[in-house]
Every structure is written in C-alpha cells, then in structure tokens.
Amino acid sequence: MYKDIKLEKGLYNITGKSFTKALTDLDPDENYKDTELAGLDAFERQLKRFDIKVNGENCDRVEKFFLSTESAVLFPEFVRRCIKEGMDKASILSEVVAATTWTDELTYRGLTVKKSGTDAAVSEGGTVPSTTVRLTASGINLSKFARSLSCSYESIRKHRIETFAVILKDLGAQISRAVNKLATSVLSSGASTQSLNGDTLTYADLAEFWAAMKAYDMTTMLCSPTDMAKILAFEEMKYCVSDYMTSGMVKTPYGVTLVKCPDIDEGTAIGVDKNCALEMVFGTDIIVDFDKLISTQCDEIACSITVGFSKIASDAIKVLYTIN
C-alpha cells in the first residue's frame, strides 16, 4: 500500500524512470481500482499519505513538505509538475509539431521528404512518380533552455503552496516561450514566402495565403499579438471569435487555427500543416535539481530542458510578410 512506501532521494536516480514512474512500480495504480483513491497517481497518493494539500481552501504552507525527511522527497516532483504545467500552458507546440522523438545525443539528423513527378495516371511503361526520404544534410544541435529561481526557505515557508505554485508555473512559461521562439525560427528559416497584394492586410489576403499551400492543408497560422488583433477585427471574423469562449481557440471561417505568438515579428505570419511540418526532438524532459531542493530546502531552484526541431516536409510551411 502507498503508506508503506519508503521515500528516498534514490527514487530520482533510477535510469530511464521518472520519480512518479519509480513510485508507480512500487505502488501500482491498478491496486486502487474501484476505491476512493482511483484517479490519483502514485505521487498524488503520497501527498495524501502526508496530508499535504497543494490547492483549495485548506491549502497547506510550503513548510508542510519539510515536516519529515520522507515528505521532503516529494517537493522536487511537486516543483517539476508545476513548472511543466506552466510550460504546457504557454506552449504553441501542440499546434505545429507532427512527431516527437527522444535521443541521447546532442546532435540529431532528421528526415526530409521530396516529391517528384505528377499525380496524373501512369501510362503503361511510364515513369512512376516518387517520394524520396533522406536524412537531413546536416544534424541539428539540440538546445538547452534553463532557468533558476533564487528564494530562501525562510521567505516562502509560511506561504501557501498554491501561491508558490503560481511562481513556478510562471517560470515554466518563461522557458516555454524560449522553446516556442526556437520552433518558429526553424519553421520560418528557408520557408517559401508570400507577400500582400496591397499595402494593408485584408481578409482576401488571408484566404489567398491559406490557398497558397496547395499540396497541404494549412491547419495553423502563427502571428504576433498585434497582427492577430488586426485579423480578429475583420468583419468576416466576428462569428469566429465567439469560439474562443468555448474552446479557447480561434479559427478562421475556413478552419485555420490562429495562434498568438509574441516571438514572431509584427508583419509576419507563419502558416503550418501541423500534421507533417515539424519534428520535435527531446534530449531531456524537464530536469529539476532534486538534491538541492531536498537538502537545502530550495535556496535555489534550477530547472532545464534540452530540445531541438527538424523540418519534415518543407512545403507544409509558408510565411506571409508585410502585414500592415
């Protein structure tokens, strides 16, 4: 049972396993089917064991984690989860990434796709059109994004865990925005471009931009907050904006999801077919320095993630310039 698990720092050091996975191996989720603990994972069961409430009206203070040496072991995983939640909230990657890969290397060679011939019927003895898949000419270097939070234990120990979680989520969001910036840079680099017909962006320009991606289906358009505001102000968009109230996303009348991205320059929009444009490569997941958090009671919280991006089908990306 979850109350009999011996919590120790070594659970963070098992190769190929996260802290929660190591806990789950010792305390399988299936043991709690049809019980009041169904729906909680192994980490959440440990929070219950030590009566640590991380949110809500009766939320505990940060010092609750450090009432025993075993409960202190839970703190780094709590920090990691909050940072990941902040990263996920700020990430645009679900709208542009087609595949995810993990690697132990710092350099990665992805795959590229090239098509030749036409889609016309092939006559007897005729040449068959082909699709060629090759490794990229050169490898991409994975980038490490990191951030540290300096805070003495004395300054936070009496604060509600829920309040401290807000700070951790914001830290995660900052890291995520840096990852977003790398993704948009890779997407736009070397992509085919299109310019406006006139001096000012019109709804017709948007429709033409969407139609320009002939072989693929533009699912996503990334643009700066200023440019997105201009698009949302179009008369043709007034019936689409209400979708944001139910789904949190805004789509054009022809189905393209608009994504606000502060790291894109004003006057630029990136159109993407998220089903085949970009591969995300992880060198590591979110790493939190667990040893310092346990032994020094969070004098410094350091976290990092190592990622890179590789284009798969370059024709599934198009850039629109000069939105005035």
pLDDT at 241: 73
- pLDDT level of residue 245 (50, 70, 90 thresholds): low
pLDDT at 294: 66
- What is the mean predicted confidence (pLDDT) over 214-231? 90
Return the CA Rg of the chain: 24
Euclidean distance between CA atoms 213 and 266, whole angstroms: 22
Answer yes or no: is pLDDT of 163 > 90: yes
Q: What share of the chain in percent tops pLDDT 90?
A: 48
Other beta carbons less than 10 A from residue 39's beta carbon: 10
DSSP strand E in the chain: where? 97-102, 107-108, 111-116, 130-135, 140-141, 143-150, 192-195, 220-223, 250-251, 257-260, 268-272, 278-288, 300-311, 317-321
Q: 37-40 long-range CB contacts below 8 Å, 24 or more apart?
A: 37/2
pLDDT at 138: 81
Answer yes or no: is pLDDT of 195 > 70: yes
Q: What is the DSSP code string of 111-136? A: EEEEEES-SSPPPTTPPPPEEEEEE-
Among 112-116, 233-237, 270-274, which is the least confidently predicted range? 112-116
The model's pTM: 0.87
Contact 98, 281 (CB under 8 A): no
pLDDT tens readout for residues 257-304:
999 998 898 889 999 999 999 999 999 889 887 776 766 555 678 889
- pLDDT level of residue 201 (50, 70, 90 thresholds): confident
Among 32-36, 191-195, 292-296, which is the least confidently predicted range? 292-296
Answer yes or no: is pLDDT of 129 > 90: no
